[in-house]
Amino acid sequence: MRSAVVLAAGRGTRLRSSKPKVLHEAAGRPLLGWVLHALAPLELDHIVVVIGHGAEQVRAYAESLPIPGISCVVQEQQNGTGHAVRIAMESGALDAATDVMVLAGDVPGISTETLSRVFVERGGAAAAVVTTRLDDPTGYGRMIRYGSRITGIVEERDASPEQKRIDEINTGLFAFEAQALRDALGQLTTDNAQGEEYLTDTVAYLAQTRTVVGLEVDSDEVEGVNDRSQLATISSTLNARTLDRLMAGGVGIVDPSSTYVDADVVVEPDALLLPGVMLHGATRIASGAEVGPYSRLTDTVVESGATVAFTVSTGAEIGPEAQVGPYTHLRPGTVLHRGAKAGGFVETKKAVIGEGSKVPHLSYVGDADLGKGVNFGAGSVTVNYDGFNKFHTTIGDGAFVGSDTMLVAPIEVGPGAYVGAGSTITTDVPADALAIERAERRTIDGWGARNRERHTKQSSSEPTSPTESGQKDN
């Protein structure tokens, strides 16, 4: 039975954040999430996540993922990697395991293919260690070899000057024969510079009587995250991988250098992403849709033939052939049906805009249902809030709302009705009726000239200096 131990107890002090290290996001997914998603296709019997700092937050995230076999154990005292693995092995979840992989929870670039190879490469050896080579290996454990065999790993703080010149480093990814790991963990001590139980010391112990093999991989795949700079670098790398995958699958991306797509976003073939696009969360872009330029969509669905430009959207559904933008804000609960339009400087919230209906520009539609073929004029507003509660507006099929109109909810405008421009409508409008609700015009002849004259006289009579106003110099 194959299982894995994921080490996710660290604080990540160099990130200077109260958030647990492994929950920091890279390319739209927490670091730990990348590791667990890479493990998922291996169909392991158990994945034990060792947690510590921010334990409950990390537990909640790990156990929320749709990946079977995940459980968490808490490392109350941070006494080293060997101590963390021992806690996992003693938890009971791995009692039946025959093969155990151990890896860090902050290596988001690791691939399923490499993880699978580690199990294969171990073969009948006691352990397999994944290594890489760095031009500057400072800070990492160095691989000690005798010919092609690995005989040990020495940590930076315990390394001699000669050992520090070795450029092959330990990546923290291992595969063990389970019983060999149990035996080796029982031999660990804290006799080292950090006073901790090093998992790496198991390698020297096992190499005395058994074979330990190495698997060298590219450094990009096993790079960890220790500070904000490394987090930004790995995010960029992962985003580039996502974009390459999308383009290989037939998605058009005009400028990859300015395009950002989260890991779990779905973009179908023949969709087109223009420069400056950012797609987050559970967003889905259908084939034939065009998004951008400079649009940020979160948890938004864009159906085939729709166009979205210069838009911020969260939790919206944009139907087939709908048009959104420019400079449009779609808030949660917005639904645009086929051919609907939310144009320039329009904001919507909990608004259903029916097939072929138009909110062309400079309007707010909140807590409202617009039927088919509705025209909602420029500068018009559904007045949905009285300071305490939100109220609903319903506009029937084919209705026409003139520009600069206030619809004071709760209110219903019937099918085919017209509302005159500049109206403030406070009661329902029957179907096919014309509603005009304005204050009666009052014209006062000559008022403008008299007003200017009055202000001119006031200005000329005002004091022009402290002396003229009766004040004395101090």
SS3 content of the chain, % helix, strand, coil (to 5): 25, 30, 45
Q: What is the DSSP string of 194-222?
A: T-S--TTHHHHHHHTTS-EEEEE--GGGG
Name the pairing type of β-strands 252-253 and 272-273.
Answer: parallel
Place of tokens 């490392």: 75
Residue 255 has, within 13 A of its CA and on its CB side, a CA count of 11
Distance CA 295, CA 325 (A): 9
Phi, psi of 386 (to 5 degrees): -105, 15
Cis peptide before 293 (omega within 30 of 0): yes
361 belongs to the catalytic site: yes
Query: Do 170 and 131 form a contact (C-beta atoms < 8 A)?
Result: yes
Write the DSSP symbol of residue 440. Answer: P
The active-site residue out of 46, 361, 392, 455 is 361
User: Is the sign of the CA dihedral 41, 46, 52, 54 positive or negative?
Assistant: positive
Q: Which residues of 380-398 are buried (b: 16+ CB within 10 A; e: fewer)?
A: bbbbbeeeeeebebbbbbb
Pairing of strands 411-413, 393-395: parallel
The two beta strands, 260-261 and 296-298, are unpaired
Tokens describing residue 10:
């660290």
Based on DSSP, count helices (H) and strands (E) in the chain, helices before strands.
9, 39
Residue 109: which region, alpha, beta or left (left: phi > 0; alpha: psi -120 to 50)?
alpha
Catalytic annotation, residues: 361
